[in-house]
Structure formats: structure tokens, C-alpha cells
């Protein structure tokens, strides 16, 4: 009863490490499978491509992670890609300006996120309902607008003088590492920092852990809720810009389809609690990469890509099973070793 309080940190047993970082284990298992299946065909650039192809879902998933930590959800992120993409391509074709295109993409993202956030934070409508609605709205606007222009896909104009630079950006490598992958890593660092070492980050966790107590501790709950949606929109804007630079076009019917689900899955595999208040954003990166590798494995096996979601769904179930079973096993072991 008389422990003196000092600076020592809580004990980090091997069990708690496995529990807190199960996303690394899942990633390593999938990555090992990838290496085995690919065998001698494995190349450095193939591995680096995992980073590149994880970027779009990864950025969406970081926003999703913050939203889920507050106890909310954002189903509209995939549709945001379509609407932001459509408008950004149109802006680029009209202005031939990369900087303006980037600013419009980010600005649109912030606006779409703000719409979600205001309905959730101030009108107190459940996030699921709000973002389900905007998921339908955002994509539909992108498709409708395209139809009125008599086209089926938003193509960046390859004859513009800056097209080469924008498209090239998506293909560039720095010291063999794809630019897009570097940007993903950069945002991982930023987001992990924001979540763990800033006042804002702690407020996000506080709101998700006990909203009433956070409010009575002085946290502006509404503002925090709005901000996490705005950040998600901002990240969706950047993700759209990356998509454009990688692909050169945006098809509003298919771009980002089911990406909200993949982002949620990445968040869950990363160990963030759907109930809010708990989990690490670092896990989100591993969750997103795990899913990209599954795509690669299926491609190299030459199996029909339609089996893809079966495997992704199973991995998600398995990940959650591991997360919920490990604590039980640990408790059993503890009991056995004592008694």
C-alpha cells in the first residue's frame, strides 16, 4: 500500500507487447507469405511498390483512425476521392497549374470533411448516418457532373505543359524509394506525433474514452469532433492528388470504391478499438500495407481477383480474433503460473 510514486513506467511484459503490437505480427506473417510465394521473383522495387500502393488507403485510414478514436466513423472517404478527383482534374485541365490543383484538392477535402463534421459535431446526428448520406452524395455529384459534360471518365489533358511534371511526380523515386511511399511515411510520422504528443491528439482520445468526463474537464467536444472529420477530408484531398499523379485519370464510378471499408479494416487490424478511446495510429500503416500485400499475393498467384475480398475479410476476422483471444490466453497463463 505504500508504493512511492516515481518516474518508472508501467511494466512491459512480452505478453503486453504482443498484445499491443499484434498488427506487426499480422503484417510480418502476410509479408513472409508474399516472399515465399514470390520466391526468386521478389525484387526490391516490388517490395517498395507495397508502400506506393498503400499510400491512398493509408492516408484515408489515418483520418479514419482519428475519427474512430473519437467513437465515430467516416463512410464517405471513398466517395470523397471521386468528387475531389473530378473537380481537381477539371481544375488542372482548365489551368495547367499543379499548385492550384493541389490547393483545390486539399481545399475540397477540407470542405467535404467540414460538412461531415458540422453535421456530426453540431447537429448531433450519428456519424454513421451523416457519412452514409455524404458517401452517396459525393460520388453521385462527381458522376452526374461528368455525365452533363458528355464524358465517362475524368482524364487529365496529356497535352498540357505541366502534365508531365504532375504525372511524373507519381512515378518518381528518390534513392529507389517511390515518392508516394515517402509521402506515406512522412504522414505516418506526422499523424503518430499528432496522436501521441500533442494536446489535440489527447483530446481526441479523451472524447472517445469518456465524452462526458472530457467535456467536464474542459475539452471542447464539438470542436474536436469537427476537427477529426476535417483532418480526414484534408488527408482525402492529399490522397486524391497522389492518385491523380499515379494514374493520370479519375473514374468516379470506381475510384475509391470500398476504400472506406479497407480504411476501417486497416484501422481495426492496427488495433484501434471501434468503441473509441484506445489504439495506436502506427498500427494503421501496417494494416494498410497488409491489405496491399494481399493484392500482390493474389496477382502473383494468378488467381481471379474476385477472391480478393474473401481473403481480406478473413484476415480482418483473424486479426480481431487474435486481438480478443490474446488477453484471455494471457490471463489463463497468469492464473496457471500462480496457482
Partner 1 sequence: MEILKMTDISKSFFGVPVLRHVNLDVEQGEVHALLGENGAGKSTLMNILAGVYTRDSGTVVFDGKPMEDTTINDAEKAGIAFVHQELNLFNDLKVYENIFLCNELTYKTGMLNRKEMIRLSQELFDKMEVDIDPTSAVSELETGKKQLLEIAKALHAQAKLLILDEPTTALNNEEIAHLFTIIRRLQKQGKSFIFISHKMNEIFTIADRYTVLRNGEYIHSGKIAETDPKEVTKLMVGSKFNEDDAYEPRDSGETVLELRGLSGDAFSDISFSVKRGEVVGFTGLVGSGVSEMFQTVFGALPIKGGELTVNGKVMQGNNIHLAMCQGVGMIAANRKENSIIPDFSLLENTYISEHTLVDSKQHISVKKETEKFLRLAGLLNVKANAPTDLITSLSGGNQQKVILARWLNTNADILLLDNPTQGIDVGAKGEIYKLIHQLAKEGKTILVNTLEIPELQQVADRCIVFYHGHLQTEIPRSEMTEENVMLWATNAINTVKGA
By CB under 8 A, tell whether 215 contacts partner 1.
yes
By CB under 8 A, tell whether 58 contacts partner 1.
no
Cβ of residue 19: shortest distance to partner 1, in angstroms?
14
Among 77, 120, 127, 219, binds partner 1 (CB under 8 A): 219
Among 175, 216, 306, 328, binds partner 1 (CB under 8 A): 216
By CB under 8 A, tell whether 278 contacts partner 1.
yes
The grid coordinates listed for 86 are 473530378
**180 near 288, Cβ under 8 Å?**
no
By CB under 8 A, tell whether 3 contacts partner 1.
yes
By CB under 8 A, tell whether 220 contacts partner 1.
yes
By CB under 8 A, tell whether 214 contacts partner 1.
yes
**56 near 243, Cβ under 8 Å?**
yes
Among 1, 99, 123, 328, binds partner 1 (CB under 8 A): 1
Quote the CA–CA distance of 152 and 132 in Å, as a whole number.
25
Q: Give residues 9-38 in contact with partner 1 (rule: CB under 8 A).
A: 9-10
By CB under 8 A, tell whether 5 contacts partner 1.
yes
Long-range contacts of 124-132 (CB under 8 A, 24+ apart): 127/67, 127/72, 127/73, 127/74, 128/73, 128/75, 131/73, 131/74, 131/75, 131/76, 132/75, 132/76
Quote the CA–CA distance of 53 and 51 in Å, as a whole number.
6
Quote the CA–CA distance of 92 and 105 in Å, as a whole number.
10
**Binding residues with partner 1: total (CB under 8 A):** 35
By CB under 8 A, tell whether 6 contacts partner 1.
yes
| Residue ranges in contact with partner 1 by CB under 8 A | 1-3, 5-10, 197-200, 202-203, 205-206, 208-210, 212-220, 277-278, 334-335, 338-339
Amino acid at each position: 500500500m505504500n508504493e512511492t510514486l516515481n518516474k518508472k513506467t508501467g511494466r512491459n511484459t512480452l505478453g503486453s507487447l504482443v498484445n499491443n503490437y499484434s498488427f506487426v505480427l499480422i503484417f510480418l506473417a502476410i509479408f513472409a507469405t508474399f516472399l515465399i510465394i514470390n520466391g526468386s521473383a521478389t525484387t526490391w522495387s516490388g517490395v517498395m511498390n507495397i508502400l506506393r500502393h498503400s499510400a491512398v488507403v493509408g492516408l484515408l485510414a489515418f483520418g479514419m483512425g482519428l475519427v474512430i478514436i473519437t467513437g465515430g466513423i467516416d463512410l464517405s472517404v471513398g466517395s470523397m476521392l471521386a468528387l475531389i478527383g473530378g473537380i481537381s482534374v477539371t481544375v488542372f485541365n482548365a489551368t495547367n497549374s499543379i499548385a492550384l490543383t493541389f490547393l483545390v484538392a486539399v481545399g475540397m477535402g477540407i470542405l467535404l470533411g467540414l460538412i461531415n463534421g458540422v453535421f456530426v459535431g453540431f447537429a448531433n446526428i450519428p456519424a454513421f448516418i451523416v457519412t452514409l448520406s455524404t458517401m452517396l452524395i459525393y460520388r453521385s455529384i462527381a458522376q452526374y457532373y461528368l455525365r452533363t459534360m458528355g464524358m465517362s471518365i475524368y482524364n487529365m489533358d496529356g497535352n498540357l505543359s505541366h502534365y508531365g511534371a504532375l504525372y511524373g511526380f507519381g512515378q518518381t523515386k528518390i534513392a529507389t524509394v517511390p515518392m508516394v511511399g515517402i509521402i506515406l511515411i512522412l504522414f505516418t510520422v506526422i499523424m503518430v506525433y499528432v496522436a501521441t504528443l500533442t494536446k489535440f491528439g489527447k483530446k481526441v482520445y479523451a472524447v472517445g474514452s469518456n465524452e462526458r468526463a472530457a467535456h467536464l474537464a474542459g475539452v471542447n467536444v464539438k470542436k474536436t469532433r469537427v476537427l477529426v472529420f476535417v483532418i480526414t477530408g484534408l488527408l482525402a484531398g492529399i490522397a486524391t492528388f497522389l492518385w491523380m499523379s499515379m494514374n493520370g485519370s479519375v473514374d468516379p464510378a470506381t475510384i475509391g470504391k470500398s476504400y472506406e471499408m479497407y480504411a476501417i479494416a486497416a484501422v481495426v487490424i492496427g488495433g484501434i478499438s471501434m468503441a473509441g478511446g484506445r489504439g495506436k495510429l502506427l498500427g494503421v500503416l501496417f494494416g494498410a500495407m497488409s491489405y496491399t500485400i494481399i493484392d500482390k499475393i493474389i496477382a502473383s498467384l494468378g488467381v481471379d481477383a474476385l477472391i480478393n475480398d474473401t481473403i481480406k475479410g478473413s484476415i480482418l476476422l483473424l486479426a480481431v480474433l487474435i486481438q480478443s483471444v490474446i488477453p484471455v490466453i494471457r490471463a489463463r497463463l497468469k492464473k496457471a503460473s500462480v496457482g
